Amino acid sequence: EADIYQTPRYLVIGTGKKITLECSQTMGHDKMYWYQQDPGMELHLIHYSYGVNSTEKGDLSSESTVSRIRTEHFPLTLESARPSHTSQYLCASLRDGPYEQYFGPGTRLTVT
Amino acid sequence: AQSVTQLGSHVSVSEGALVLLRCNYSSSVPPYLFWYVQYPNQGLQLLLKYTTGATLVKGINGFEAEFKKSETSFHLTKPSAHMSDAAEYFCAVSDRGTGGFKTIFGAGTRLFVKA
């Protein structure tokens, strides 16, 4: 069973608010990822990290930012939420060798 | 550049019938291939993967997939569908790109199982 956690699971927030989506894993994985998923669509990579103090933007442009100060923690921040940010956000970490990703349960964000 | 195409956004089968979900990929280097399953309001869970070796790989819940290099395909099958198999299935491809390891996901196929 994967030990990767995301909070909150659901969030409804007004336009202009600052929000942070939390992601933590207890598996000691170096590589972590944030994906954005809209209904019926593929996952789009928005941020990734290959270790502490390493962050990169993904293939899909995003107004969010991330940090990686500790191996187990990879939070995503939106400085000013907009309705276009309404989506599901999935966090994942990668187990090297088997190359498989472990996913958190996701945060479903609605910006009104 | 890598890409994944899943044929059919929706597949419907009767309980007990064969499940076949199609996936084709493009990759300039030998790929690593995956199938993930997503149940409602949950994250993705690995069903099976191909990295090297035997081209027929078996996964959890009775699913299996075969890597066919000549057809650039990695179709997912299960001999007999169960109601609990109803979910969204994602095919994915990845390789060791410069500086790291990223995965490209298909658009997903929603499997419906009729009683």
Backbone angles phi, psi at B49, to 5 degrees: -150, 155
The structure tokens listed for B68 are: 């066919």
- Statement: residue A1 has pLDDT above 60: no
Specify the pLDDT at position B96: 63
Nearest-CA distance from B44 to chain A in Å?
6
pLDDT in tens, A43-61: 899 999 999 999 999 888 7
CB proximity A41 to B under 8 Å: yes
pLDDT in tens, A54-91: 999 988 878 899 999 999 999 999 999 999 999 999 99
- Statement: residue B28 has pLDDT above 80: no
3-state SS record for A30-91: CEEEEEEECCCCCEEEEEEEEECCEEEECCCCCCCEECCCECCECCEEECCCCHHHCEEEEE
pLDDT in tens, A98-108: 678 999 999 99
CB proximity A106 to B under 8 Å: yes
Which of A5, A32, A42, A88 to substitute to test the interface with B, most B CBs within 10 Å?
A42
Burial of B25 (0-12, 13-18, 19+ CB in 10 A): buried
Q: Measure CA of the first residue to CA of the last residue in chain B; give whole Å.
A: 41
The structure tokens listed for A52 are: 């502490």
CA distance B15 to B81: 5
The structure tokens listed for B77 are: 């099958």
